[in-house]
Amino acid sequence: MKVLVAGGGGREHILVWKISQSPQVKEVYCAPGNGGISQKAHCLDIEATDLQGLVRICKDHMIDLTVVGPELPLTMGIVDLFQGEGLKIFGANRAAAQIEGSKAFAKDLMRQYGIPSAEYQVFDNRDEAAAYISKKGAPIVVKADGLAAGKGVTVAETVQDALEALDRIMVKKVFGEAGERVVIEERLVGEEASFIAFSDGERVLPMASSQDHKPIYDDDKGPNTGGMGAYSPAPVVTPQVHQRIMQEIMIPAIKALAAEGYPYRGVLYAGLMIQDGVPKVLEFNCRFGDPETQPVLVRMNGDLIPIVEACIGGSLAGLRISWDPRAAVCVVMASQGYPGAYEKGKIIRGLEEAESTEGVYVFHAGTSFKDGEFLSAGGRVLGVTGLGRGIREAIEITYEAVSQINWEGVHYRRDIGKKALSWLEE
């Protein structure tokens, strides 16, 4: 079997890594890939958003299966296009992908079907949104309705902060068309977790729990990013909470989408806030998380391909996933300036030393490979991922590996996994 992975970040690197282990897979391609992926797959110089170009590639290279990493091709309708061309592809179709493509769509769906989430209002008029913010007061959350690479959400501590966030979205249009509408919602309190599951349109097969770290600085300070690190499992998702998430959120969401005429086949990701054992949805995503996929999939035993094919074929019934009992931690190493402007082309040193450590895997997010050297080529550059017998050991192993890697201006958080440790101390 020949498999194409669409995308070029850390999530796609681990997908390539996992897929290449399948005994069913002969060759792996990636479009566009990155420097690290090029060591494991045939990288093709084509963007994941060039849908017609990807169709041509699949036909030219006789690709048997395409796995989509990022959200944008899904919301653009890559699955619908491929299926119309008779090509096998894994991911949500365009209608189902609205659950991430429009926060207003997701919130309305949750309200209609009784899925727990924050109180909210949707606005396409800046002045009406501003009046609502002033009336409600702070803290309050301001979200661009559309896709903003994980950066379109502001948790505002003051009304002034909220109004400034509103103007960035609706007046300055920093997120373009994604900011034509905004969702204003109450701030939920508690501890966040990521819950990612496979679905074949009817059934839900959960993955291991995880926790992402969105803000750029330690202690969740600073602006939001695409994610600065993650760990799995997340202790906040106790067995009881896991059951509630499945029964109150994941299964109802899949049933709701089916009832609306949008059967969901692919990966559904719920970003959750959990307080006193009660989970509520912050947002839904229509794909694997990044960087959550790194610590989750390194813990997944067995072959990913049969699960992917079961989702496509509507035959998940009876399938189970076995998980490595060890904990995994992923620390994102980023370029100086990210999530704002940053420089590229910095030589990365120490990769071989870091990867020689048992239980350590370095997944490339934004790198290039030139003249025998890896160079920084993105905001998030690497996702250093380590396995340990418990979360404390996984943190130690991962940060030891991180300390061996360096380039000019490297930045990373030093507290990934700290929240999990607090559960050990209780």
Mean pLDDT value across residues 258-270: 97
CA 181 distance to own-chain centroid: 23
Question: What gap in Å lies between CA 102 and CA 50, rounded to an integer?
Answer: 21
Angle 126-136/159-170 helices, nearest 10 degrees? 160
- Top-confidence residue, 150 or 21: 21
Pick the CATH number of 2-94 from 1.10.287.70, 3.90.1300.10, 2.60.40.10, 3.40.50.20: 3.40.50.20
Q: Is it the case that residue 67 has pLDDT exceeding 60?
A: yes
Q: Is it the case that residue 426 has pLDDT exceeding 60?
A: no
Output the DSSP codes for 60-103. Answer: HTT-SEEEE-SHHHHHHTHHHHHHHTT--EES--TTTTHHHH-H
Domain extents for the chain? 2-94, 119-186, 191-313, 327-424
195 within 8 A of 232, measured Cβ to Cβ: no
Question: What gap in Å lies between CA 365 and CA 381, rounded to an integer?
Answer: 5
Helices and strands in the chain: count of H runs, count of E runs: 15, 22
Pick the CATH number of 327-424 from 2.40.50.140, 3.90.600.10, 3.40.50.300, 3.40.50.10610: 3.90.600.10
Dihedral of the CA atoms 20, 21, 22, 23 (nearest 10)? 110
pLDDT tens figures, 116-174: 999 999 999 999 999 999 999 999 999 999 998 777 899 999 999 999 999 999 999 99
211 within 8 A of 193, measured Cβ to Cβ: yes
Residue 417: what are its φ and ψ, rounded to 5°? 95, -10
Mean pLDDT value across residues 70-76: 97
Instruction: Output DSSP code: residue 247.
Output: I
Q: Where does residue 287 rank: exposed (0-12), middle (13-18), buried (19+ CB within 10 A)?
A: buried
In this predicted structure, what is the pLDDT of residue 223?
Answer: 87
**CA neighbor of 258 nearest in space, from 195, 306, 203, 310:** 203
119-186 fold: Dna Ligase; domain 1 (3.30.1490)
The CATH number of the domain covering residues in 191-313: 3.30.470.20
Q: Is it the case that residue 425 has pLDDT exceeding 90?
A: no
Percent of the chain with pLDDT over 90: 96
Residue 7, by phi and psi: left (phi above 0), alpha (psi -120 to 50) or beta?
left
Q: Is it the case that residue 224 has pLDDT exceeding 90?
A: no
In this predicted structure, what is the pLDDT of residue 292?
Answer: 98
Q: Across all residues in the chain, what is the average pLDDT?
A: 96
pLDDT tens figures, 345-396: 999 999 999 999 999 999 999 999 999 999 999 999 999 999 999 999 999 9
In this predicted structure, what is the pLDDT of residue 374?
Answer: 98
In this predicted structure, what is the pLDDT of residue 299?
Answer: 98
Percent of the chain with pLDDT over 70: 100
Q: Is it the case that residue 213 has pLDDT exceeding 70?
A: yes
- Three-state secondary-structure class, residue 273: strand
Question: What gap in Å lies between CA 157 and CA 167, rounded to an integer?
Answer: 16
Question: What gap in Å lies between CA 51 and CA 240, rounded to an integer?
Answer: 42
Q: Which segments of 229-326 are extended strands (E)?
A: 229-232, 265-275, 278-285
